[in-house]
Amino acid sequence: MTGSAATSIPFSFNAVAGTGSTISSIKGVLNGTPVTVNAAGIGSATANGTGSFSITTPGNYTFVASANSGLMAGSTSVNFTVNQTPAPSPDCTVD
C-alpha cells in the first residue's frame, strides 16, 4: 500500500432515537480523526450517515459511528486490518 494509490472504503450507518426523541447529530471517526459524514434525517427519529475514507498504509484501524439525541448519546465501532499485498511475480522473464 505504501507508494500505492489510496484505497477508498465506503461506510453507512443508521441511528434510531428512543420514543419521543429525535437524532440531533451523527459523526464518524477513524482512529481518532473525524471523517466527513453525509447525514440525512437529522431532527427525526431515524437518521443515517454515509461516506468514505481513504487508507494509504497497512495497519489496524477502528471506525466509530456515533449519534446524539438530546442528552443521550450512543456509538458503535468496527475494528479492521489492512494488509499490504505483495506485487505479483512476473509470469516469465526474458534473458
pLDDT digits (tens, 9 = 90+) for 13-68: 999 998 899 999 999 999 999 999 999 999 999 999 999 999 999 999 999 999 99
Supply the DSSP symbol for 21.
-
Neighbours of 17 (CB within 10 A): 20
Burial profile 41-74: b = 16 or more Cβ within 10 angstroms, e = fewer: bbeeeebbbeeebeeeeeeebebbbbbbbeeeee
Beta carbons of 53 and 8 less than 8 angstroms apart: yes
Is residue 1 pLDDT above 70, yes or no?
no
Confidence of residue 88 (pLDDT cuts 50, 70, 90): confident
- The pLDDT value recorded for residue 3 is 52
CA atoms within 13 A on the CB side of 55: 19
